[in-house]
Structure 1
Amino acid sequence: MSRVVLEVDVNGEELFVVDKDILARFCGRIRRLVVAGAASAKRPTRVALHGFPGGAEAFELVARFCYADGGCGGAVTAANACVLRCAAEFLDMAAAAPEAASTAAPSLVRMTEKALEEMPHWPWHTVVDAVKQCQRLLPLADTTGAFDAAVAALVSHMAVPPPAGDATPTSSSPESSAFRFSCDTKSSSLSLRGSCISRTWWFEDLVSLRPGTVERVAAALVARGTDHRIVARFLFYYLKCHIAGASAEDKKAMLEASVTVMSGLDRSAVSCKGLFGILRIAAPLKLTDACQQRLVAMIGRKLDHATLDNLLVPAPAGTGSLYDVSLVLRFVVAFLRGGAPDETARLKKVGRLIDLYLAEVAPDPSLRPAKFLELATALPAPARDCHDSLYRAIDVYFQVHGRLTEEEKMKICRGLSYEKLSPECCKHLARNGGFPTRAAVQALASQHTVLKSLVLRDPAELKPVAPSPPPSTAKRRETCYDDGGAENDGQVILYAGRLDLTLENQNLRSLLDGMHWRVMELEKVCSRMKTQMTKMKARRAGSRTARSLPRMCS
């Protein structure tokens, strides 16, 4: 039988002239083309292989394998195992032709799979090259499992210290300026200096990977049980090395890949400063909704570590506002959803932070009252022990927004707890013409109630003091309670002078009386005005009646 020559066009790169029968013995795809050509009574002389993995170089290796009957002519090595596995999948070389199978001809698929099983024992840089090679062989690298094998081998190498002479440059050290992008403070990086250098030696070798591959490697590290702090540091380091100078599309891909992995890490492993850095970079990129939600949720969980500068995110273009208050509200909601209300210390830190933020955004003339009130009341009551800072923020807001109605002001004042205002703030509120009169009266009344409850507190709630009272003075008043037992036994003595509330109580009472006097005076003025208006109407009615009467003749 004469040999049939076949021309193979590989990706338009190169034209190979091969023996059709030799390739058909091992390549199912070529074999099917031969059968199809015979059925149509035409012998195909040229075959075009588009999208062939590895290009002309890989096809040449496959051809050598076929011409050598699967012998040494197509030897599988660590350098070509991944590409040959994908090429064998593309050409359907899992099983040889029946006549070849009878002679126990080797299969390229089996040979490459055996080589991939040995990948964990390959040198580090060979494994890194295999991972980079798989990036260019998608989706076949996924279908064949070559990519998973390469990533698994890579992760297994990361778990051990670097071999002698194979350490990465000092630029990948945790102490580099780029690495500190992920650290909240210098002390945190200094405390981990010794341990981090031994566990982050591989950073520099992996920064050249594509975003999808980085996400895959980081997820594999997490699944293997690697310290989440190391994974987070690597992701921040990767971003630091590539963000500058990257295109908008590349930035978006890198950020989305990093955020996807970080969202599954422990809250303490991810830097709050780094998350806000990602937020500012991502602002003009329009990340996917899912990615934005993950980023907001992560920042919300770390909100107690944020600073005022972190929260001052400019508002989107076209809104007219200075700062993005809606975004901060989303942070607060995410913080509360994370179970933070059970942690009082964290909750109070966020309360102080939100009060600072309110004072900063209050002068914004474009900030609507409903949005200001929503942020002021977003946190539960235990978040604030004192409402003085909130009062000052509301005071500034009222001064800037002078056109607010009394009803709008009263709605905002509902966010204040007058019982948590200091006496100084209550005095200021009582004299503050920008606040509604009702708010001032309520504040003074609540303060009076608080002081009265302190003075007249139930004796059972007071701590007992020594049976023998201290020397009495003219300025100190004593109130004694006896439970009916022996003299001085179980006696509870309250010294009102120790509370030092008498003078304060008198001042507040005088202010409250003054407010009542002002209300009464206004009522008197209104009553007099009504009386005068009634008299004026009566006079006008009488004059009109007199003019209408006819003059009588004398």
Structure 2
Amino acid sequence: MKFMKLGSKPDSSQSKGDSIRYVATELETEIIVIIGNLKFYLHKFPLLSKSGHLQKLIATSKNEEKKNKIDEIDITEIPGGSVAFEICVKFCYGITVTLNAYNVVAARCAAEFLEMNENFEKSNLVYKSDVFLNSTIFRSWKDSIIVLQTTRDLSPKYSDEEFNLKLAKRCLESIASTASIHTSKVEWSYTYNRKKKLDPKVKKQEAVPKDWWVEDLCDLHIDLYKQAIEAIKKRGKVPAFVIGEALHAYAARRIAGFSKGTVKTSDRSLTDSIIELVPDEKGSVSSGFLSKLLRAAISLGCEETVKERLKKRISEQLEETTLSEILSYDVDMVQSLVKEFMSRDPKTRSKVSVTKLIDGYLAEKSRDASFLLQNFLSLAETLSSFPRQSHDGLYRAIDMFLKEHSGISKSEKKRLCGLMDCRKLSAEACEHAVQNERLPMRVIVQVLFFEQIRANCSSTENTTTTLNTEDDEWDQ
């Protein structure tokens, strides 16, 4: 962290209890400055020579008590409070004081409030603070982030609002500029807390990941974080997937229970803001992250437009979704995702992946005895037009349903098993099916029949065989 030291005198400021501060000298106290419950016992000359505001207050003081010649001034409204005022006091006395990223904004706002500018003395505190900000802070990645956060934490009611806006803008420009530089120009001194193993043989500049800056920005409040991400986006030099990584890291850090799917109601606006920042480019964020955002949006009762946007994004990448992610959705949600996916007419390869995913979903959901046959059929039939090289996954789902729902009727079994093409079962699946007492006898006969055909015609690639499956044969 960068810093600037002002003054040269040793620190003679002292305290008495929790409510009194004073500067130890042989001179008697001439002025008491009150800030909340704290009183500063000070001397006029050091203060009035540098502060136009205190000079005016002393000139108009209405202290008419004859015995008490000490002026009392209440400036509780000073930006930065007693801490910032104490920095100003030490500067006035020439006591060594250190400006850094954590206190420079408060000190600058307090100095502005006290009118510690060039009208009273050259190189006054306002000037010194500005020099430090321009020459050091805005050139430092970490310090720019810290200062940006302090602009919000300070919330100076009586300070120069225009200055605060300009300060935040300068910080954002610095952050966006640094985050956008090529990784070959990034020094490895920057913070990077994420657990990534780097090859020791790789050169230093090549070892810096594109998302090296992600963790540092997680310290910002969502309002400032949003501005920072938008500023980075505007420069157009950071890939969309890196922005996605940044948002994922921020959500995991700032939304309590996000990773476990147990978010709190108080995090709704935070969740809305993160969703709003998700890049439009497909693949910019992982399907897992999108799934977590959707679960959070549902749990928090976010607007339907927000949830619909997430559903649309998940459907675009449905082939990348894992079984554990999709199991958190009910059948209606999965069905809507599949239908949205189908409307985009994706590549055959994507359809195969989605089919496997839904087969796995049906198998796992079928373990629940309350899972309805109609839900199983509806979702499975939605995929009837999708290419399946193998029906093993569907067979497993059907078998699991039959195992947990032994009370269904023969006609229901027929409709359920009718989803499956026995010709597309592997040898292992066929071996299991012919010994499976849960299957209707007709299905077992079909499996045996097609296995025999396969054995007899293994040398013929284009053999076509059909088997009558009229209703009256199912009960034989």
Q: What TM-score bracket applies, with the shorter chain setting the length?
A: 0.5 to 0.7
Q: Select 1:271's aligned residue among 286, 289, 300.
A: 286
Q: Which of 150, 158, 163 is the aligned partner of 2:171? A: 150
* Shift, 1:248, TM fit: 7.6
Aligned length: 407
Who wins on radius of gyration, i.e. which is larger? Answer: 1
**Quick one: which amino acid aligns to residue 233 of structure 1?**
E
Using the size of structure 2 for normalisation, the TM-score is: 0.59
**Aligned-pair Cα RMSD in Å:** 6.2
Match of 2:153 in 1: 136
Instruction: Tell me: higher relative CO, structure 1 or 2? Use CA pairs within 8 A at least 6 residues apart.
Output: 2
How many angstroms apart in 1 are the aligned matches of 2:171 and 2:137? 8
1:227 aligns with 2:213: no
Contact 2:49/2:121 (<8 A) preserved: no
Instruction: Give the counterpart of 1:356 among 354, 357, 360.
Output: 360
- In the other structure, the counterpart of 2:473 is 515
Q: Is the 8 A contact 1:54 1:83 kept in 2?
A: yes
2:379 alignment partner in structure 1: 375
Structure 2 unaligned regions, length at least 5? 1-29, 64-70, 447-459
* Per-residue CA distance 1:257-297 (angstroms, 9 max, x = gap): 89436623533232345556x579x7799546257766655
* 1:217 corresponds to which of 220, 225, 228: 228
Query: Contact 1:273/1:306 (CA < 8 Å) preserved in 2?
Result: yes
CA distance in 1, matches of 2:61, 2:206: 63
Structure 1 stretches lacking a partner, 5+ long: 39-43, 181-185, 313-323, 445-496, 519-554
For residues 60-97 of structure 1, the C-alpha deviation after alignment (integer angstroms, 9 at most, x for no partner) is: 455688x79xxx999997755522454467x4969x9x
TM-superposed CA distance for 1:139, in Å, is 6.9
Identify if the C-alpha distance between structure 1 residues 126 and 429 changes in structure 2 by more than 3 Å, giving closer, same or farther: closer
**C-alpha deviation, 1:353, in angstroms:** 1.0
* Aligned residue among 183, 192, 203 for 1:172: 192
What's the counterpart of residue 302 of structure 1?
317
Say yes or no: does 1:330 pair with 2:353: no
Distance 1:161 1:82 in 2: 30
SS in 1 for 2:208: helix
User: Separation in 1 of the partners of 2:89 and 2:123?
Assistant: 14
1:449 is matched with: none
| Aligned counterparts of 1:18 and 1:85: Cα–Cα separation in 2 | 22
* Cα distance in 2 for residues equivalent to 1:37 and 1:335: 78
The separation in 2 between residues aligned to 1:139 and 1:297, in whole angstroms, is 42
Three-state SS of the structure 2 residue aligned to 1:9 is strand
Superposed displacement of residue 343, structure 1:
1.1
Letter in 1 for 2:231: A
Q: CA deviation at 1:364?
A: 1.4
Letter in 1 for 2:463: D
1:341 equivalent in structure 2: 344
Which of 454, 459, 463 aligns to 1:500? It is 463
Taking the aligned partners of 2:264 and 2:300, their CA distance within structure 1 comes to 10
Q: Specify the code of the residue in structure 1 equivalent to 2:351.
A: L
User: Counterparts of 2:186 and 2:359 in 1: how far apart (Å)?
Assistant: 54
The equivalent of 1:57 in structure 2 is: 83
1:156 positional shift: 1.7
Q: Which amino acid in the other structure matches residue 372 of structure 1?
A: F
Compared with structure 1, are the counterparts of its residues 516 and 160 closer, same or farther at alpha carbon in structure 2 (3 Å cutoff)? closer
8 Å Cα contact 1:218/1:231 also seen in 2? yes
- Residue type at the aligned position of 2:188: A
Hey, what's the Cα distance between the residues in 2 that align with 1:365 and 1:34?
A: 85
Q: Which residue of structure 1 aligns with residue 74 of structure 2?
A: 47
Query: Match of 2:154, SS?
Result: coil
Distance 1:264 1:162 in 2: 21
What CA deviation, in whole Å up to 9, does each residue of 1:177-225 have, x standing for no partner?
x248xxxxx99xx999975616444456555555655444334322322
Deviation at 1:365, TM superposition (A): 0.3
